[in-house]
Amino acid sequence: MLPLAGLLIRAPWSTLPQRLTEPGVLAALRLSLLTATLATLLCLLLGVPLAWMLARGGLPGARYARALITVPLVLPPVVGGVALLLVFGRRGLVGGWLDATFGVSLPFTTAGVVVAEAFVAMPFLVIAVEGALRGADARYEEAAATLGATRWTAFRRVTLPLIAPGVAAGAVLCWARALGEFGATITFAGNFPGRTQTMPLAVYLALEQDLDAAIVLSLVLLVVSVVILAALRDRWVGVS
């Protein structure tokens, strides 16, 4: 809490209004919120099935798959960015093929930011959802099956509502992690205002020029994050 208090105390309150309306601030904030939300959606799309396979799939190498999925948690984000470049970069394993076939290149694009953020934030979602799945009673799904439900129907109407708080909690963690991501973003997606310069990047660069500007940007990010997370927690994650 002390560092946060330090931010609040040190903020240039007198010049705050005109600093807030500078174009770079709003652009970075808009980009940050957009990419964090898209990254969370991507994580949900890929992470929930992944978690289901780990918890219920009965795969032989599940233990190792789980360890692999949590690698981005221990990897320094910049290293993650380098790894992404080696795979999705212009000369990367997948990226080279993408560039040659479709002329599509992920680095230095907003899509690249989303991919970088999803990469570092996915473990949070997978772990939370897998935990929820393990905690949910599998007998409800079996009961649904005996009543004639297909696996997809059972998943959609029985499992998902059961694990919804866990999924929501994982999504919130995922969103928060994606919002604050810096190392992988600046390495993989680069830094360009309006396109790839998220709030953390803007803070870092502002720090080199103007400490007050950096503090203002940090405060904005802090306030927006706290407001959204507080609103979400009460509505979705609380005990119904």
Partner 1 sequence: MSARIVAALAAVVLLAGCGDSGAPSAQRPAGGTVTVLAAASLTESFTRIGQDFQATHQGTTVTFSFGGSSGLAQQITSGAPADVFAAASPATMTTVTDAGAAAGEPVTFARNQLVIAVPKGNPGGIRGLAGLTRVKVALCAEQVPCGAAAGTALASAGVTLTPVTQEQDVKAALSKVKLGEVDAALVYRTDAKAAAADVDGVEFPESATAINDYPIVALKDAPNPAGAQAFLAYVRSEPAQRALADAGFQPP
The answer to whether residue 4 forms part of the interface with partner 1 (CB under 8 A) is no
Cα distance between residue 201 and residue 199, in whole Å: 5
Work out which of 47, 72, 80, 107 binds partner 1, going by CB under 8 A: 107
The answer to whether residue 191 forms part of the interface with partner 1 (CB under 8 A) is yes
Q: Per rule CB under 8 A, is residue 90 in the interface with partner 1?
A: yes
If one asks whether residue 12 binds partner 1 (CB under 8 A), the answer comes out as: no
How big is the CA angle at 7 (ends 39 and 34), to the nearest 5 degrees?
A: 20
Other Cβ atoms within 10 Å of 132 Cβ, number:
21
| Interface with partner 1, residue 235, by CB under 8 A | no
Q: Which of 7, 207, 229, 232 binds partner 1 (CB under 8 A)?
A: 207
- 231 with 26: CB under 8 angstroms? no
Q: Of the two residues 85 and 158, which places its CB atom closer to partner 1 in the complex? A: 85
Reduce the DSSP state of residue 178 to 3 states and report it: helix
Part of the chain binding partner 1 (CB under 8 A), chosen from 126-134, 145-153, 185-193, 225-233 = 185-193
For 91, 104, 136, 154, 164, the CA distances from 98, given in Å and listed in that order, are 10, 6, 40, 37, 36
Interface with partner 1 (CB under 8 A)? 85, 89-91, 107-108, 186, 189-193, 196, 204-205, 207-209, 211
